[in-house]
Structures are given as structure tokens and as C-alpha cells.
Amino acid sequence: AQRVTQPEKLLSVFKGAPVELKCNYSYSGSPELFWYVQYSRQRLQLLLRHISRESIKGFTADLNKGETSFHLKKPFAQEEDSAMYYCALKGGSNSGYALNFGKGTSLLVTP
């Protein structure tokens, strides 16, 4: 069965400190993983997708198939990074390729 685990409900860091939001997955095939961000009471926005290997707003994420992880990292956190972050795994055809989300990590960046 496919599953996404985000072990931290809340992560609090100081401005300028490095941040890492953890995501682990279980999937029998070749995974397609995403990070979504949700600012306070707004819609979810795509932050990163592993196939594009891009860096958005200073965030990066590397797929580690050996550790089945897709951790989100940023070297220097900013106050505007405070938000809810969701890791998501694309499902198979039996779920219409729906995204399967982790429970989310709330990131709080304090001055």
C-alpha cells in the first residue's frame, strides 16, 4: 500500500537557521513525489516536484530511493516561510492518479 509519513506535526526554527521537513514514503512502483505549501487559510500551492529537480523559494528536495525519503530543505529560513507543508505521492491508475498526502508539518519561523 502507498503511504506518506511526515513525522513532525510542528517544526519551529529561528530566522536564518536551516530547516528540514521530513517525508518518508512507501510505494511499490517508481514514486512521483511533490511538496505542497499552504499559507494561512489559503489554497494549496505546488512547491516542488521531484521530477523537475528545481529550487523554488530557496527550497530543494531530493528523492532518496534507498531511504524512501523526500525531505524538504532550505539553508536559511525566512519568516514568510511559516506555513503548512504537505508531502504528496502520486497514486496509480486505480485511484485516478490522485495525490496521497501526508498529514502535514506546520513550520513556524520566529525572528
Partner 1 sequence: NAGVTQTPKFQVLKTGQSMTLQCAQDMNHNSMYWYRQDPGMGLRLIYYSASEGTTDKGEVPNGYNVSRLNKREFSLRLESAAPSQTSVYFCASSETGNPNYGYTFGSGTRLTVV
Interface residues with partner 1 (CB under 8 A)?
A: 6, 9, 34, 42-46, 49, 51-52, 86, 93, 95-104
Closer to partner 1 by Cβ: residue 39 or 76: 39
Beta carbon of residue 103, minimum distance to partner 1 (angstroms, whole number): 4
Q: What is d(CA 105, CA 101) in angstroms, rounded to the nearest whole number?
A: 11
- The nearer residue to partner 1, 28 or 93, going by C-beta atoms, is 93
Q: Using CA atoms, how far apart are residues 23 and 65, in angstroms rounded to an integer?
A: 12
Q: What is the DSSP string of 43-103?
A: --EEEEETTTT--BTTBEE--BTTTTB--EEESS--GGG-EEEEEEEE--GGGTT-EEE--
Closer residue to partner 1 (CB): 78 or 95 = 95
Q: Give min distance, CB of 107 to partner 1, in A.
A: 15
- Taking the complex as a whole, the smallest distance from the CB of residue 97 to partner 1 amounts, in Å, to 5
